[in-house]
Structure 1
Amino acid sequence: MTLPLDVTKLADLLRLAARSEILPRFRRLGNGDVRSKSEPSDLVTEADEAAERLIRRELETIAPDALFVGEESVAADPALLGRLADAEFAIVVDPVDGTFNFASGIPAFGVMASIVWKGETVAGIIYDPMGDDWVMAEKGGGAFLIRPEGEAIRLSVAQPRPLDAMVGMASAGYFFGDMRHRILGNLAKVRFFSSYRCSAHEYRTFAGGHVQFVLYNKLMPWDHLAGTLIATEAGGYAARFDGSAYLPHHVDGGLLLATDKESWQMLRNEIIGA
């Protein structure tokens, strides 16, 4: 597939933003550099905003025709999110995924970007500033861990396991009411589950073959487009809770990824339930 933007240029841009605006602020945030958005645990920092400004400014030069959809841009102009469904070419960016961790001084955060072309995600990148490497995928081309010196290691999801032996990631913070009680109770059926509070690292862990599933309810495109493409290109199976395909404009319906379709159906029946 011919992409509308060289994905390596986008990858280098994420690294530049991390080195210029994110890492210099890690464990150095001052008073007023961290603010709450929708709730006390939904944070934004000076690093998020400065990194997004840098990425957007550079993309205006190398991809002037792209609709830029950044997490902080949407926070400032919510109507921007609605334009994604009809955009022919869009670049979706999460400047600091795992802001709670970043603001707490925990070294588990990432920088993510995806390319959306004619309604589908065609490229995804997750950069780890602490490890200085990327996981990347182009649609139809597989998923890879890319090291700074250029070494590329193909990624593959884990082998399937029985339900009681599965290990996974479940972000329970955005399940509410009866659904929350049901899913948290049903997760007792798996061997172990956790949450990094950082979808960037959860997707990297899944695509690298270390866990058998990841589960989310809140769907913001900057959190999930890159990771879902990388995960499926690594051999995983992804769908919303009703079994429908996850598309760039979706913001609800939940999202479950598993090692294969049969495991997905088992998890759907046993964990999500009615």
Structure 2
Amino acid sequence: MTMPLDIAKLADILRLAAKEEILPRFRRLGSGDVRSKSEPSDLVTEADEAAERLIRRELEALAPDALFVGEESVAADPSLLAKLGSSDFAIVVDPVDGTFNFASGIPAFGVMASVVWKGETVAGIIYDPMGDDWVMAEKGAGAFLRRPDGDAVRLAVAEATPIGDMVGMASPGYFFGEERERLLANLAKVRFFANYRCAAHEYRTFAGGHVQYLLYNKLMPWDHLAGTLIATEAGGYAARFDGSAYLPNHVDGGLLVATCKDSWQMLRRELIGD
């Protein structure tokens, strides 16, 4: 398909925001530069807000007709989220994914953007400010690790393995009550699970072929649209827990990403259950 904007230019904007607004603040945040939102671990920093302002300003010139849906913009105006499902052209941005890590001085955070065209995610970009490279995909064109010097490496997910050998990422913190207890018990069936508190790096790790699954319950579009497209373009399989496709307007229903459909079905049965 023909992209509604230049993806390379969008990638450059994410890098610019990191260079100008995010990295200069890393491990230099003052006491008034970090605030809580919905809970003590749900943070926003001056870097998040400044980076989103820069990205939005640059996108107004690059794609003036696009609906801009940024994590911090939605925090200020929740009605933006509802507009995403009906917009023909939208750009969804997470200016600092992994804000808890960033605010804690942990070098595991990213800048993410996705392009939604007529209700479908058609491009996704995850920029790593510390490594200075992008993982990105356009629908139907594969997923790639790209570097500023122009070098590009095509990404492919890991080979399928038995559940007892699987390593991956799961976020039990957004499951509650008996559902959480059941998930934690069932995760004993896999070899290993981790949680980076940063979807950007979790999706990068999956698309690079280093883990076999990702599991989430909370679905905000800035956290998952880019990564899900990249994961599937790298050869993976993704769907909500009920087996339905994950779409830009979905904010619930859970999300399971696996190396193939057969692995997805087995993980769904063994980890989520009925």
Say whether the fold is shared (TM-score over 0.5). Answer: yes
Tell me the residue number matched to 1:203: 203
CA distance in 2: counterparts of 1:199 and 1:192, whole angstroms: 17
TM value normalised by structure 1 = 1.00
Structure-to-structure mapping, 1:254-265, within 5 angstroms: 254-265=254-265
Amino acid at match of 2:202: E
CA distance in 1: counterparts of 2:145 and 2:31, whole angstroms: 37
4+ runs deviating over 6 angstroms: none
1:116-160 per-residue CA deviation (whole Å, 9 max, x = no partner) reads 000000000000000000000000000000011010100000000
1:80-131 per-residue CA deviation (whole Å, 9 max, x = no partner) reads 1000000000000000000000000000000000000000000000000000
CA distance in 2: counterparts of 1:231 and 1:31, whole angstroms: 37
CA distance in 2: counterparts of 1:169 and 1:261, whole angstroms: 17
Asked if 1:98 corresponds to 2:71, the answer is no
Q: Report the 3-state secondary structure (helix = DSSP H, G, I; strand = E; otherwise coil) of the residue aligned with 1:248.
A: coil
1:155-206 per-residue CA deviation (whole Å, 9 max, x = no partner) reads 0000000010000100111111111000011000000000000000000000
Runs of 5+ in structure 1 lacking a partner? none
Amino acid at match of 2:117: W
Asked if 1:151 corresponds to 2:139, the answer is no
Tell me the residue number matched to 2:48: 48
Q: Report the 3-state secondary structure (helix = DSSP H, G, I; strand = E; otherwise coil) of the residue aligned with 2:123.
A: strand
Tell me the residue number matched to 2:74: 74
Question: Displacement, 1:64?
Answer: 0.4
Percent same amino acid at aligned positions? Answer: 83
| Cα-Cα RMSD | 0.3
CA distance in 2: counterparts of 1:188 and 1:148, whole angstroms: 41
TM value normalised by structure 2 = 1.00
CA distance in 2: counterparts of 1:248 and 1:179, whole angstroms: 25
Tell me the residue number matched to 2:224: 224
Structure-to-structure mapping, 1:235-250, within 5 angstroms: 235-250=235-250
CA distance in 2: counterparts of 1:31 and 1:165, whole angstroms: 44
Question: Displacement, 1:233?
Answer: 0.1
| Number of residues of Structure 1 aligned to a counterpart in Structure 2 | 274
Structure-to-structure mapping, 1:21-170, within 5 angstroms: 21-170=21-170
CA distance in 2: counterparts of 1:178 and 1:31, whole angstroms: 37
